[in-house]
A = this chain, B = another copy of it.
Amino acid sequence: MTVTLADVAARAGVSAATVSRVLNSNYPVAEATRDRVLRAVAELEYVANGPASALAAATSDLVGILVNDVADPFFGVLASAVQSEMSGDGTSGGEKLAVVCNTGGSPERELTYLTLLHRQRAGAVVLTGGATEDPAHTAALAARVARLSAAGTQVVLCGRPPLPAGATAGAGGSAEAPVAGGRAAGAASAAASPASAADAGPAPLTVAFDNRGGARSLTEHLVALGHRRIGCVAGPEGLTTTRHRLEGHRAALATHGIEDVPGRTVHGAYDRASGYAAAHELLRRDEDLTAVVAANDTVALGVCAALREHGLRVPEDVSVAGFDDLPFSMDAVPALTTVRLPLTEAGARAGRLAMGREPAPADGVVLLSSELVIRKSTAPPYS
């Protein structure tokens, strides 16, 4: 079988306890003994049994990161930043296994992964990805998060809004135990309630982007250039991010007394195909748009492609603006005007917060501001 602690102990001529102490270096061990143990470990090529350690110590060195899709640059960059921060970047010796989980944007898989991470007794979890506004899912999510917290796991939401305060405590009890009848039920819940208050554990933290402000400044940039007929390819309906960006866009319009024509807004997914389709639809409804703000950079690329097919030049005929400032945006032709979200900073801070390497803000929320990046895809209309 595999080499165990006992084997190492035997080889080094010490007890298992001593080996454990050497490896976890949290107890005084004489130099000579330590050397002997370390040598035995090397000779035997001993690799500790993680599950056993986790069981005994009641905590594992696993930390999780949930993303919608690693293949999407937005999440890729975010995940990369979070991970390098969480796994200690190889610097500190405290090796954590930072793992990223792909939810594929599915709320169910999100819950599943949260449970799986809970099951693994992960030490921390960073949750990114679109937050749906579906109350049922929000409640279920809040309940899961509350349970993770209760188990001592630090949860950090990144790039999404904080969980509704009430839901955290409320949903767990009501939504999750539909079959509360039975003989022991009364006693159990009576015992559980006070405990849950005490066991609340680390409160969930949040690192969010100022989507509203970013969208607003983007549209204002367009308005400042002279655009009045601005199309909007918004993200999927029912996502807070979508709503916030749309609100920012509308706020800018309102500020400048521009009518918000409903037909000029089309919803779609955060991918190129949606942008392509949406742009065609927008053009079908109104041939005279002079600008289009897209849900994000990827969508903007699709919009540009559709525009080109219509024989329209960007930005001479139609200006196009993206969002996120993904890596490829500066290389697009024309280079995309967009709103830069501090993805790397967000990921890093979320990671640090999760690992307790950065003090949590009083209200538990870090709001990161965005920055308008003006490049070549926007210009005055009719130029």
Q: Which of A102-110, A203-211, A245-253, A261-269 contacts B (4 or more CB under 8 A)?
A: A102-110
Contacts of A49 in B (CB 8 A): 55, 119, 121
Contacts of A84 in B (CB 8 A): 102, 104
Contact of A62 (CB < 8 Å), options: B43, B120, B301, B305:
B120
Interface flag for A176 (CB, 8 Å): yes
Q: How far in angstroms is the closest Cβ of chain B from A123?
A: 12
Q: Is the CB of B51 within 8 A of A55?
A: yes
Q: Is the CB of A71 within 8 A of B79?
A: yes
Q: How far in angstroms is the closest Cβ of chain B from A16?
A: 15
Q: Is the CB of B80 within 8 A of A70?
A: yes
For A107-127 the 0/1 string (1 means CB < 8 A from B) is 011001101111111000000
Number of chain A residues whose Cβ lies closer than 8 Å to a Cβ of chain B: 76
The residues in A between 166 and 218 inclusive whose CB is less than 8 angstroms from any CB of B are 172, 176-180, 182, 184-185, 188
Interface flag for A283 (CB, 8 Å): no
Total identical chains: 2
Contacts of A147 in B (CB 8 A): 45, 47
Known contacts: A60-B51, A108-B90. The answer to whether A185 contacts B116 by CB under 8 A is no
Q: Is the CB of A119 within 8 A of B48?
A: yes
Q: Is the CB of A42 within 8 A of B177?
A: yes
Q: Is the CB of B188 within 8 A of A11?
A: yes
CA–CA, A377 and B54, complex, Å: 54
Known contacts: A43-B185, A90-B109. The answer to whether A83 contacts B55 by CB under 8 A is no
Contact of A101 (CB < 8 Å), options: B99, B108, B272:
B99
17 CB contacts below 8 A, A to B, read A42-B177, A42-B179, A47-B115, A47-B119, A49-B55, A50-B120, A51-B52, A51-B53, A51-B55, A51-B60, A52-B55, A61-B116, A97-B116, A98-B102, A100-B100, A272-B327, A305-B331
Nearest-neighbor residue (CB-CB) of A38 within chain B: B179
Contacts of A182 in B (CB 8 A): 11, 39, 43
CA–CA, A177 and B40, complex, Å: 10
Interface flag for A162 (CB, 8 Å): no
Interface flag for A380 (CB, 8 Å): no
Interface flag for A44 (CB, 8 Å): yes
Nearest-neighbor residue (CB-CB) of A116 within chain B: B97
Contacts of A6 in B (CB 8 A): none
Interface flag for A77 (CB, 8 Å): yes
For A71-95 the 0/1 string (1 means CB < 8 A from B) is 1110011011001100100100001
CA–CA, A298 and B84, complex, Å: 22
Q: Is the CB of B119 within 8 A of A177?
A: no
Interface flag for A332 (CB, 8 Å): yes
CA–CA, A179 and B42, complex, Å: 8
CA–CA, A110 and B53, complex, Å: 22
Contacts of A304 in B (CB 8 A): 331
Known contacts: A117-B97, A118-B47, A331-B305. The answer to whether A184 contacts B104 by CB under 8 A is no
The residues in A between 302 and 328 inclusive whose CB is less than 8 angstroms from any CB of B are 302, 304-305, 327-328
Contacts of A52 in B (CB 8 A): 51, 55
Contacts of A178 in B (CB 8 A): 42
Interface flag for A281 (CB, 8 Å): no
Among A98, A100, A180: residue with most chain B CB under 10 A: A100
Interface flag for A69 (CB, 8 Å): yes
Contact of A45 (CB < 8 Å), options: B2, B177, B331:
B177
